[in-house]
């Protein structure tokens, strides 16, 4: 008996009126994850399209694959490099990286989906498909050796407080993955801020916690006054090419600009991600970067760093491509998306440069703009409505 036949044989048992009716939504969610939804509309006017919400989310997951695969490789690369082990054995590098990254992904999906199924069961509504994406986004914005219990606590907070208390996917105004990271960031700052803890390997190839290495952001953020930011980065081995390729310490999926751009291309080509938000955020960040270069304190390493370096290091690319474009927590109108993205770019750069304690300003900038997204939409719609020619009676 194949899986599809098992679903068909047990469909009646898991119907709302069947003996296992309380598990109907869980059964239906699992079925539609593997197969097309067999429930069809009865109205005459509808669109025939096989791309339902789950398939829509799968496109985002596919776009995240380059960042995930590179993150696994880079985690193993940094781990072995930190203790002097060879990084020429790619299989060993990938194995080491997988042992660090995959447990984070498993905890994120295990805890988050468990909470989703729990709320769906007690409320009797459909499983929220949005967590298929949030469950992968979350581990990609974490350092690799954050304790698993902290990662689990963070995603629980993100799902419950960031989404379920507002009614689930489609009703939340904050990005759940960023809400989860923000909770962990402020609750356990020693594992999340400043220097990223990197898993290292001892002589027996066992993962060991306790080695930290400065990220490119930390090198510049904590530089002495009068230092040249570019020179500090280059002396630390963080040249612009290294930053773009991504073989540097940092959170799992945020280091490689190339891998992120591959995902951005897919999102834009399929229409899943808004190019308006991405481009306007880029413009806002560049504008603020140039203004800081022109009018900022010349003795500040952060203020004097060229904008291109800011865009290549840290989480800018990942935040703009995958976080700012979240269709639920971002504006809906095209003009509002341009304003929203531009403000994220400006505010993220301001937070990074002016407050060294939060060099990853994009998380806070996006969450803050999530709050104002409905207002931006409202103002844009009100302005457009006011320009309409009134109907003649």
225 with 367, same domain?
A: yes
170 with 236, same domain?
A: no
Percent of the chain with pLDDT over 90: 40
Contacts of 235 (CB under 8 A, 6+ apart): none
Residue 175 domain flag: yes
Q: Is the pTM of this model over 0.95?
A: no
> 77 versus 209: which is more confidently predicted?
77
User: How far is 282 from 272, CA to CA, in rounded Å?
Assistant: 18
167 with 299, same domain?
A: no
Instruction: Quote the domain boundaries for residue 233.
Output: 218-248+273-377
Which of 195, 60, 141 is closest to 316 using CA atoms? 141
> Which whole-number Å values give the CA distances from 158 to 7, 154, 274, 282, 372, in the listed order?
32, 6, 24, 27, 19
Query: What backbone phi and psi angles, to 5 degrees, belong to 192?
Result: -120, -25
Would you state the structure tokens that stand for residue 230, as one six-digit string? Answer: 């570019």
315 pLDDT more than 60 = yes
122 pLDDT more than 50 = yes
345 with 228, same domain?
A: yes
Interval 24-71: pLDDT, tens: 566 556 666 555 555 555 665 555 555 556 667 788 999 999 999 999
Contact assessment for residue 302 and residue 229, using Cβ atoms and an 8 Å cutoff: yes
Residue 204 domain flag: no
16 with 62, same domain?
A: no
Core vs surface per residue 255-293: b (16+ CB within 10 A) or e: bbbebbebbbebbbeeebbbebbbbbbbebbbebbeebe
217 pLDDT more than 60 = yes
Q: Is the dihedral of CA 150, 152, 155, 160 positive or negative?
A: negative
Query: What backbone phi and psi angles, to 5 degrees, belong to 85?
Result: -80, 155
pLDDT at 210: 42
Average the pLDDT over 210-230 and give the result: 74
263 pLDDT more than 60 = yes
Nearest-Å Rg of the Cα atoms of the chain is 23
188 with 228, same domain?
A: no
79 with 185, same domain?
A: yes
Residue 244 domain flag: yes
Which of 243, 237, 196, 185 is closest to 218 using CA atoms? 196
119 with 164, same domain?
A: yes
134 pLDDT more than 80 = yes
Residue 254 domain flag: no
Would you state the structure tokens that stand for residue 124, as one six-digit string? Answer: 């009797």
72 with 167, same domain?
A: yes
312 pLDDT more than 50 = yes
Q: What ranges make up the beta strands (E) of the chain?
A: 196-201, 207-213
Q: What angle separates helix 275-295 from helix 257-270, to the nearest 10 degrees?
A: 140
185 with 222, same domain?
A: no
Residue 198 domain flag: no
Residue 40 domain flag: no
14 pLDDT more than 50 = yes
Residue 85 domain flag: yes
Query: What backbone phi and psi angles, to 5 degrees, belong to 80?
Result: -70, -40
Which of 389, 23, 362, 7 is closest to 177 using CA atoms? 362
Structural domains in the chain (count): 3
Residue 334 domain flag: yes
271 pLDDT more than 90 = no
- Dihedral, 252, 104, 117, 273 alpha carbons, nearest 10: 10
Query: What backbone phi and psi angles, to 5 degrees, belong to 120?
Result: -65, -35
225 with 369, same domain?
A: yes
Q: How confident is the model at residue 211 (pLDDT cuts 50, 70, 90)?
A: very low
Q: How confident is the model at residue 288 (pLDDT cuts 50, 70, 90)?
A: very high
Interval 149-189: pLDDT, tens: 999 999 999 988 888 777 766 677 888 999 999 999 888 87
177 with 74, same domain?
A: yes
Q: Mean of the per-residue pLDDT values for the chain?
A: 81
């Amino acid at each position: 008996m194949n899986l599809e036949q098992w679903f068909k044989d047990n469909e009646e048992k898991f119907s709302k009126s069947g003996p296992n009716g309380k598990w109907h939504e869980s059964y239906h969610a699992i079925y539609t994850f593997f197969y097309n939804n067999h429930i069809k509309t009865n109205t005459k006017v509808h669109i025939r399209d096989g791309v339902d919400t789950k398939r829509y989310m799968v496109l985002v997951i596919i776009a995240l694959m380059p960042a995930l695969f590179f993150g696994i490789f880079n985690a193993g690369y940094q781990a072995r490099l930190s203790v002097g082990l060879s990084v020429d054995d790619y299989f060993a590098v990938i194995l080491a990286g997988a042992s660090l990254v995959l447990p984070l992904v498993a905890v994120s999906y295990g805890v988050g989906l468990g909470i989703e199924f729990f709320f769906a069961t007690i409320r009797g509504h459909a499983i929220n498909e949005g967590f298929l994406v949030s469950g992968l986004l979350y581990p990609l914005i974490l350092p690799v050796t954050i304790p698993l219990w902290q990662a689990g606590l963070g995603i629980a907070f993100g799902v419950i407080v960031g989404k379920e208390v507002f009614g689930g996917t489609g009703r939340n105004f904050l990005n759940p993955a960023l809400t989860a990271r923000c909770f962990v960031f402020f609750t356990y700052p020693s594992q999340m801020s400043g220097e990223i803890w990197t898993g290292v390997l001892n002589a027996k190839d066992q993962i060991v916690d306790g080695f930290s290495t400065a990220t490119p952001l930390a090198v510049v953020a904590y530089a002495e006054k009068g230092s040249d930011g570019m020179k500090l980065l280059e002396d630390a081995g963080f040249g612009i090419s290294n930053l773009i390729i991504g073989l540097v310490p940092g959170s799992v999926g945020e280091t490689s600009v190339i891998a992120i751009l591959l995902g951005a291309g897919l999102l834009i080509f399929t229409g899943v991600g808004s190019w308006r938000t991405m481009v306007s955020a880029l413009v806002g960040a560049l504008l603020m970067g140039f203004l800081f270069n022109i009018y900022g304190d010349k003795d500040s390493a952060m203020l004097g760093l060229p904008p291109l370096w800011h865009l290549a290091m840290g989480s800018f690319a990942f935040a703009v491509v995958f976080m700012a474009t979240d269709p639920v927590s971002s504006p809906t109108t095209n003009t509002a998306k341009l304003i929203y993205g531009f403000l994220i770019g400006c505010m993220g750069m301001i937070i990074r440069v002016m407050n060294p304690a939060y060099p990853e300003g994009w998380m806070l900038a996006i969450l803050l703009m999530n709050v104002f997204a409905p207002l931006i939409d409202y103002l844009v719609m009100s302005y457009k409505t006011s320009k309409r020619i009134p109907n003649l009676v």
